[in-house]
Structure 1
């Protein structure tokens, strides 16, 4: 199963898409020249870069679900519709897991989410990690005809559909096709639920970025309610060329050299984190160079062969 592969070896490293450094100084200049609003990445090289990430051995590629671009939030994520994009990524990769971080369930018809997930599972060869969420952008909900305060209840109902708990409503002979292994369900945050409910019904937790010290407290909570189910988080990374550059912390991440990144990842592992996705939109150096540095000098330390 994809969840077992994610945690193989006890700790793993992936990437959060889009694979663009549009939040760097050079990237912001390119964005202005292209006439793109802030937060709308240049997707021209995404196929080339995801193939490189797959070849280098990054464990997972995480795709956000942002139904509508809202300049007040300033982030269009990876631009494309989530499940359509995952199908495209599956066709360009062989090994890397494909995760959603996370599908906003209250804004989607849950039976169609289930079919879309089964489709990605079938086309990718059981590589989907289905992260789900209740959403946090109030401006989207009226457009979809959904009340923002009721998103927690809609989330629980959708999860029951995804888990097959409502299959009794199907008439004899009806089923969701294609037939594929049910993807593991992971939750972003608490999705308006109690920690106990999340620990019981979810197979992993997508925790917000933080320092290793932040994660120690969160991991303790997760272990109490969910046992050894995977705990996953993210780092906004700017990997500089000086291998010995010290760790400088910024919002949601760090700027550092290779040795500082290794130190940070070791601290995350010691804190109980099972997987880290690297977000590279702040990265100042060319992404090809950064991916090769991590793939050749960092991944072998954490991904046993």
Structure 2
């Protein structure tokens, strides 16, 4: 079985999606939120399971979820609401092939041994589909509530990375172990720099989760990443509103754009050309129904980037 990181970059470039699977950041979504009495930034999750299964069937490479332990109205974003590892376990049970990523688990506010146990559990239950994105966190209000020091989160991050790397073998008394044992080394992708030096990140992390930006933005960031990490994967995100007109020109905004599929394909081709390995699409600003949008991208966009796998080709060729 290929490891999750190898699968993410198979073919040289891949496309995923980011939860929550709702378009609540639209006028229609905001109206529905008010009618339902949900908090600002709290998505409608009634169809999340059906849409996750659909993304899996359609061939999107990865489904990414975020770690937002506490709702803070000053941020106004509850991510996908569900606790990150519990949700990953659920998604592992209802999907078959799609990789399951975190973007990203805030290590310093979590109990290290339980984080390791949760990650190893998801890795085992999912058939080695876990991509563990990690971060140092950026919401100061959370740290004292969890009994953690916000100013020392960089030190804590490094300590927890060491524990995740060796399965806590160096931190436990003789005879004790965290089960299940890791089936393979956890693929650790870092969001930002996590309060670390670039050279440390390049040495100790397996990939980069970069903030959204234009191809020019990513060209600069990629140069810095390659300088310290070589060819380790570089992934990013696009907040997309896919217009129903294929030729609708691009209108950029912070973190993404509105366009038809032609401009989306051109943007993805530009990102691939500069060396980006994976792009995940975020649909909270997407005005069209998400199942319709996912079908269109799978039919018209994915074939430009996802080559049929060798296993699928072999299965299609009858035995002699």
TM > 0.5 fold call: yes
Q: 2:81 maps to what in 1?
A: 79
1:26 has 2:20 as partner: no
Q: 2:196 maps to what in 1?
A: 193
1:189, distance to aligned residue in structure 2 (A): 0.3
Structure 2 matches for 1:226-305, cutoff 5 A?
Answer: 226-305=229-308
Q: Which of the numbers 4, 8, 11 marks the counterpart of 2:10?
A: 8
Structure 2 matches for 1:192-211, cutoff 5 A?
Answer: 192-211=195-214
- Find the residue that maps to 2:258 and give its secondary structure: strand
Q: 1:173 maps to what in 2?
A: 175
Q: Which of the numbers 35, 42, 50 marks the counterpart of 2:37?
A: 35
Cα distance in 1 for partners of 2:296, 2:52 equals 16
Cα distance in 2 for partners of 1:145, 1:205 equals 28
Cα distance in 2 for partners of 1:164, 1:140 equals 28
1:166-191 Cα distance to aligned partner (Å, 9 max, x none): 52332333221112223200100000
Cα distance in 2 for partners of 1:267, 1:144 equals 42
Checking the alignment, whether the CA contact within 8 Å between 2:168 and 2:178 is kept in structure 1 is no
Q: After superposing the two structures, state which structure 1 stretch, 136-145 or 122-131, moved more.
A: 136-145
Checking the alignment, whether the CA contact within 8 Å between 2:61 and 2:98 is kept in structure 1 is yes
Structure 2 matches for 1:127-138, cutoff 5 A?
Answer: 127-138=129-140
Cα distance in 2 for partners of 1:166, 1:224 equals 30
Tell me the TM-score normalized by structure 2.
0.94
Tell me the TM-score normalized by structure 1.
0.98
Cα distance in 2 for partners of 1:168, 1:59 equals 34
Checking the alignment, whether the CA contact within 8 Å between 1:107 and 1:141 is kept in structure 2 is yes
Cα distance in 2 for partners of 1:252, 1:168 equals 40
Cα distance in 2 for partners of 1:168, 1:160 equals 9
Q: 1:53 maps to what in 2?
A: 55
Cα distance in 2 for partners of 1:37, 1:211 equals 31
Structure 2 matches for 1:25-174, cutoff 5 A?
Answer: 25-164=27-166, 166-174=168-176
